[in-house]
């Protein structure tokens, strides 16, 4: 028996950077337990949250992500002892930088999801997806990336029109 899938105007793209030991296994458990969660999320698996460079988050936004989730082991559970502690500090700093630059932090979510917390994974993903859906597409970075493709500024009406049509 399947639920009727609700139709939405906007399906956000969510990129999730997850650690292989906890959150990836947690997401896997959610899958094998047949739990339902939005298919908007694309997982990228890393050995550890400590491996996730802030520049990956930037890149994700530039390549068209509407929201980014970073998730790993609970503090103290890191497979490499301290990876998530380092990540926690780095992301605390990176959040402040993004905020200062003018990025809405509602699009960026950090979480600890262990291999047993399939329910929490579903909850985190659903909440982020719905929040980003309500916020609409992430325009800022996409506009920058689009401008990057153009060979000059949009000075003529024809160019402006073509640009609007994208």
Look up residue 119 and give its two tokens: 């329910």
| Three-state SS at 94 | helix
Beta bridge partners of residue 71, listed in sequence order: 18, 111
* 24 touches another protein by CB under 8 A: no
Q: Using the rule CB under 8 A, is 99 a contact of another protein? A: yes
Nearer to another protein, 8 or 144 (CB): 144
**Does residue 111 touch another protein according to CB under 8 A?**
yes
Q: How long a stretch of residues is the chain?
A: 166
Backbone phi, psi, residue 59, to 5°? -60, -40
Q: How far apart are CA 12 and CA 140, in angstroms?
A: 15
Q: State yes or no: residue 145 binds another protein (CB under 8 A).
A: yes
Query: Contact with another protein (CB under 8 A): which of 90, 119, 130, 159?
Result: 90
Pick the piece of the chain touching another protein (CB under 8 A) from 5-13, 23-31, 36-44, 49-57. 49-57
The reply to whether 93 sits near another protein by the rule CB under 8 A is: yes
User: Are the beta carbons of 113 and 22 closer than 8 angstroms?
Assistant: yes
Q: Is 112 in the site for another protein (CB under 8 A)?
A: yes
- The sign of the torsion formed by the CA atoms of 54, 58, 59, 63 equals positive
Residues that bind another protein (CB under 8 A): 53-55, 58-59, 62, 75-76, 82, 85-86, 88-104, 109-112, 124, 140-141, 143-145, 147-148
């Amino acid at each position: 028996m399947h639920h009727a899938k609700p139709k939405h105007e906007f399906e956000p793209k969510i990129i999730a950077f997850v650690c292989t030991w906890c959150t990836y296994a947690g997401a896997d458990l959610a899958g094998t337990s047949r739990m339902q969660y939005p298919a908007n999320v694309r997982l990228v698996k890393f050995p550890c949250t400590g491996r996730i460079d802030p520049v990956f988050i930037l890149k994700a936004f530039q390549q068209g992500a509407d929201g980014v989730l970073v998730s790993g082991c609970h503090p103290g559970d890191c497979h490499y002892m301290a990876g998530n502690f380092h990540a926690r500090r780095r992301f605390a700093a990176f959040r402040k930088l993004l905020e200062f630059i003018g990025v809405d932090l509602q699009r960026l979510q950090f979480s600890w999801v262990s291999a047993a917390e399939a329910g929490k994974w579903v909850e985190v993903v659903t909440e982020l997806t719905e929040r980003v859906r309500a916020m609409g597409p992430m325009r800022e970075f996409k506009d920058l990336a689009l401008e990057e493709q153009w060979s000059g500024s949009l000075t003529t009406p024809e160019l402006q029109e073509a640009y609007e049509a994208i």
